[in-house]
Amino acid sequence: MSIYLYNTLSRRIEELKPIKKHKIGLYTCGPTVYNYAHIGNLRTYVFEDLLKRMLEYNSYKVKHVMNITDVGHLTDDADAGEDKMEKGSAREGKTAWELAEFYTHEFRLDLEQLNISEPVIWCRATDHIKEQIHLIKKLEKKGFTYATSDGIYFDTKKLKDYGKLANLQNQELRAGVRVDVGDKKNTTDFALWKFSPKLQKRQMEWKSPWGVGFPGWHIECSAMATKYLNQPFDIHCGGVDHIPVHHTNEIAQSEAAYDTPLANYWMHGEFLLMGSDKMAKSGENFVTLRTLKEKGVSSLAYRYLLLQTHYRKQLTFSWDALQAAQNGLEHLYQSAKKLPREKPAMNTTTESEDKIKNDFQKKINDDLDIPSALSLIWNAIKQNAISQETLFKFDKILGLKIYEAVNKKEEPLPENIKILIMQRNEARINKEWDKSDQLRKELEKLEYKVEDTKNETTVTKK
Ligand code: AMP
Ligand code: ZN
């Protein structure tokens, strides 16, 4: 079945035509490891995980590469300000190396919590200094670079289609944005190599043909993507904020160096908003998976919330929506338990499972229309037209661990809990509502969830 994806580069939906049959090379820009990832960053990684799962569902072998930015990302994307790693190091009293190690580990735990499958190749910027220097030398030889007092820069005026990803040529260049040009020739020129400050020793610095210093932020992705995936490769992803600067500059330097496109498809996930603002690591609206856990919300409930909005639409975060997602996911698990194990018997009103499977694949192949795929699943569940077997197959895309939830062995309840439940049942029979409420609170304090329906009360470990 064909796959259609929105390509930021052409600004339209295109049919996916892989470079190699049955294989996809996928590069996703990874985290800058100076702090925890917030749930906005994680929205982008969930989108990329869905993309990868969809490709695998369609029997592609995906070579997924993700970088770890552990040097060179400055507080200002236009190459000014401090290095985020050095700043984080001062904040936490750890070395920049320890900081990178710590937050890389925490990031991988976040991925695990969200059931995001790991890339085939992880690559750290600091492990690829040689490759980055090699690429800068190549650009220098071809006449695309110049030196200023603080580094080696890429001359964007030398490239005729600079800015094509963001359509910068047709816009008044990031109009109204004040860019500190310094010694740069053009506002859009960007650093390939920055010199260490004269009077200060940086924790992370290397020798280079131009002087001691460190690589610019964009060069790492170009160097590592080409090393592991060749050039061109199939798909390059990131969040929408990467379009005007980071990805624009990756394209400029890679295409200038090798005279071929860097990637054929560029895909971008929209923002998670907090109120009207983008959730940002530097802002106060910083929520991590740890915050969710403290509030008793599971990471998979957050994943379920994300599945309900298309990756190209902004999503405004709210605690109410998250709570509703937690309830929705629980409802999905309970509904899944009641489905037949294998193909359900057909009747005239239900759709055939084969049609449902076909429709499901069409939706996910249609630029990852997961929200529609989800409503298709709910419809099928309501009609009892879907088996557990098929739902588990669909969950290869959703990643909600439905199989585990259905097959979870319920631990027997401890004696003290059984006694509290009995007392509460008695109170309810006697219509002693205060007493029954009191006993519910006691059970909840002991981490047990109490749910009353018309006919029964269920008590489960939280
Ligand atoms: P960083 O660690 O800052 O380099 O960002 C990691 C990823 O998160 C990048 O792909 C960003 O585009 C993405 N990102 C940053 N903020 C948000 C947000 N509020 N919503 C969704 N994605 C974001
Ligand atoms: Zn990148």
**Which ligand 1 atom is nearest residue 279's CA?**
19
Question: Residues 217, 73: contact at Cβ < 8 Å?
Answer: yes
Strands 233-239 and 121-124: unpaired
Do residues 84 and 75 make contact, with C-beta atoms less than 8 angstroms apart?
Answer: yes
Look at 352 and 176; give whichever has higher pLDDT.
Answer: 352
In our burial notation (b when 16+ CB lie closer than 10 A, e otherwise), range 68-104 reads bbbbbbbeebbbeeebbbbbbbeeeeeebeebbebbb
Please give the distance, rounded to the nearest whole angstrom, from the Cα atom of residue 228 to the centre of ligand 2: 14
Report the percentage of the chain scoring pLDDT > 70.
Answer: 93
Q: Helices 217-229 and 248-258 sit at what angle, rounded to 10 degrees?
A: 50
Q: How many CA atoms lie within 13 A of 198 on its CB side?
A: 2
Does residue 236 line the site of ligand 1, with CB under 6 A?
A: no
Min mean pLDDT across 8-17, 182-191, 255-264, 354-363 is at 182-191
User: Is 80 exceeded by the pLDDT of residue 72?
Assistant: no
Peptide bond connecting 18 to the previous residue in cis, omega within 30 degrees of 0: no
Q: In what order do the strands lie in the sheet with 277-278?
A: 277-278, 272-274, 315-317
Distance 278 CA to ligand 1 centre (A): 9
Assigned CATH for 4-269? 3.40.50.620
pLDDT in tens, 390-409: 999 999 999 999 999 999 87
State the chain's mean pLDDT as an integer.
90
Write down the pLDDT at residue 78: 67
With a 6 A CB cut-off, is 166 part of the ligand 1 pocket? no
pLDDT category, 58, cuts 50, 70, 90? Answer: very high
Mean pLDDT of 218-231: 96
Question: What's the pLDDT at 177?
Answer: 47
Q: Which of 33, 36, 41 to mutate to test the pocket of ligand 1 (most atoms within 8 A of CB)?
A: 41
Give me ligand 2 centre to Cα 249, in Å: 10
DSSP β-bridge partners for residue 20? 23
Indicate whether residue 43 lines ligand 1 (CB < 6 A).
Answer: yes
| Per-residue DSSP letter, 290 | H
Query: Which amino acid type is present at position 106?
Result: E
On the 0-12 / 13-18 / 19+ scale of CB atoms within 10 A, 424 is buried
Does residue 419 contact residue 430 with C-beta atoms inside 8 Å?
no
Q: Is the CB of 387 under 6 A from ligand 1?
A: no
Residue with the smallest CA separation from ligand 1 atom 15 is 41
Residue 180: band (very low, low, confident or very high) from pLDDT cuts 50, 70, 90: low
For ligand 1, atom 6, the nearest C-alpha belongs to 31
Note the pLDDT tens digit of each residue in 196-224.
888 778 888 899 999 999 999 899 999 99
Ligand 1 site, residue 38, Cβ cutoff 6 A: no
pLDDT over threshold 80, residue 9: yes
The candidate with the shortest Cα–Cα distance to 250, out of 278, 221, 277, is 221
Q: Ligand 1 pocket check: which of 36, 38, 43, 44 to mutate, most ligand atoms within 8 Å of Cβ?
A: 44
Is the pLDDT assigned to residue 349 strictly greater than 50?
Answer: yes
CB 305 near ligand 1, within 6 Å:
no
Asked which of 10-19, 204-213, 275-284, 295-304 is least confident by mean pLDDT, the reply is 275-284
b/e sequence 389-413, b meaning 16+ C-beta within 10 Å: ebbeebbebbbbbbbebbeeeeeee
Whose C-alpha lies nearest to ligand 1, atom 7? 41
Give every CB contact of residue 23 below 8 A, 6+ residues apart in sequence: 60, 61, 62, 63
The domain spans of the chain are 4-269, 298-406, 415-461
- For the Cβ of 40 lying below 6 angstroms from any atom of ligand 1, the answer is yes
Q: Tell the residue nearest (CA) to atom 11 of ligand 1.
A: 239
Q: Where are the alpha helices (DSSP H) in 129-177?
A: 129-141
> In sequence order, what are the beta bridge partners of 233?
263
For ligand 1, the distance from its centroid to the CA atom of residue 391, given in whole angstroms, is 31
Assess whether the C-beta atom of 272 lies below 6 angstroms from ligand 1: yes
311 lines ligand 1 (CB under 6 A): no
pLDDT digits (tens, 9 = 90+) for 87-142: 888 888 888 888 899 999 999 999 999 999 999 999 999 999 999 999 999 999 99
Beta bridge partners of 122: 66
CA separation for the pair 380, 452 (Å, rounded):
26
**Whole-number pLDDT of residue 175:** 40
85 lines ligand 1 (CB under 6 A): no
Rounded Cα–Cα distance for residues 371 and 369 (Å) = 6
The predicted-structure confidence for 251-284, as pLDDT tens digits, reads as follows: 999 999 999 999 999 999 999 998 777 777 766 6
**Cα 61 to Cα 64: distance, rounded to the nearest angstrom:** 9
Residue 409's pLDDT is: 76
Question: Which residues contact residue 432 at a Cβ distance below 8 angstroms, ignoring those fewer than 6 apart?
Answer: none
Coil/strand/helix, residue 235: strand
Residue 366 has pLDDT above 60, yes or no: yes
From the CA of 270, which ligand is nearest?
1
How would you classify the pairing of strands 74-76 and 80-83?
Answer: antiparallel
Verify whether ligand 1 is closer than 6 Å to residue 243 (CB atom).
Answer: no
Q: Render pLDDT for 397-455 as a digit per residue (tens, 0 to 9).
A: 999 999 999 998 777 888 899 899 989 988 888 889 999 999 999 998 888 888 877 66
